[in-house]
Amino acid sequence: MAADRLTGKPFATRSEVIAKTGMAATSHPLATQVAVQTLQKGGSAVDAAIAANAVLCLVEPTGCGVGGDLFAIVWNQAEKKLHGLNASGRSPQHLTLQMLQDKGLTKIPAYGPLPVSVPGCVDGWCELHGKFGKLPLEQVLAPAIEYAMAGAPITEVIAYYWSGGVKTFKDYPGFSDVFMPNGRAPVKGELFRNPMLAKTLSRIAASGRNGFYTGHVADTVGKFIAEQGGYLSAKDFSDHRSEWVDPVSLDYRGYKVWELPPNGQGIAALQILGIMENFDVAGMGFGSTEHVHAFIEAKKLAFEDRAHFYADMKFANVPVDKLVSSNYAKKRFAQIDMSRAAKSYDAGTELIESGDTIYLTVADKDRNMVSFIQSNFRGFGSGMCPPGLGFCLQDRGELFSLDPNHANKFEPGKRPFHTIIPAFITKDGKPFMSFGVMGGAMQPQGHAQIVMNVVDFGMNLQEAGDAPRIRHTRSSQPTGESMTDGGSVHLESEFPAVTVRELLKRGHKIEPSVGGYGGYQAIRYDAELDVYFGASESRKDGMASGY
Secondary-structure percent of the chain, ordered helix, strand, coil, rounded to 5: 35, 20, 45
Cβ–Cβ < 8 Å for 82, 424 = yes
Strands (E), 305-399: 357-363, 369-375
Give CA angle at 126 (42, 441), nearest 5°.
Answer: 105
C-alpha to C-alpha distance for 323 and 437, rounded to whole angstroms: 22
DSSP assignment of 195-245: HHHHHHHHHHHHHTTHHHHSTHHHHHHHHHHHHTT----HHHHHH---EEE
- Listing DSSP states for 376-420 in one string gives -STTTTTS---TTT--PPP-GGGGSB--TTSTTB--TT-PPPB--
Q: Rounded CA gap, 31 and 48, in Å?
A: 9
Which one, of 229, 336, 343, 221, lies nearest residue 276 by Cα?
336
How far, in Å, CA of 398 to CA of 91, rounded?
A: 10
Q: First CA to last CA across the chain, in angstroms? A: 29
Q: Is 357 tagged catalytic?
A: yes
CA distance 28 to 543: 7
Annotated catalytic residue: which of 357, 426, 473, 479? 357
The dihedrals phi and psi of 9, each to the nearest 5 degrees, come to -65, 135
How does DSSP classify residue 498?
A: H
**Strand 531-536 relative to strand 17-19, pairing:** antiparallel
Q: Is the dihedral of CA 214, 314, 419, 142 positive or negative?
A: positive
Is the dihedral angle over the CA atoms 255, 261, 266, 272 positive or is it negative?
positive
> How far is it, in rounded angstroms, from Cα 317 to Cα 234?
30
* Active-site annotation, residues: 357
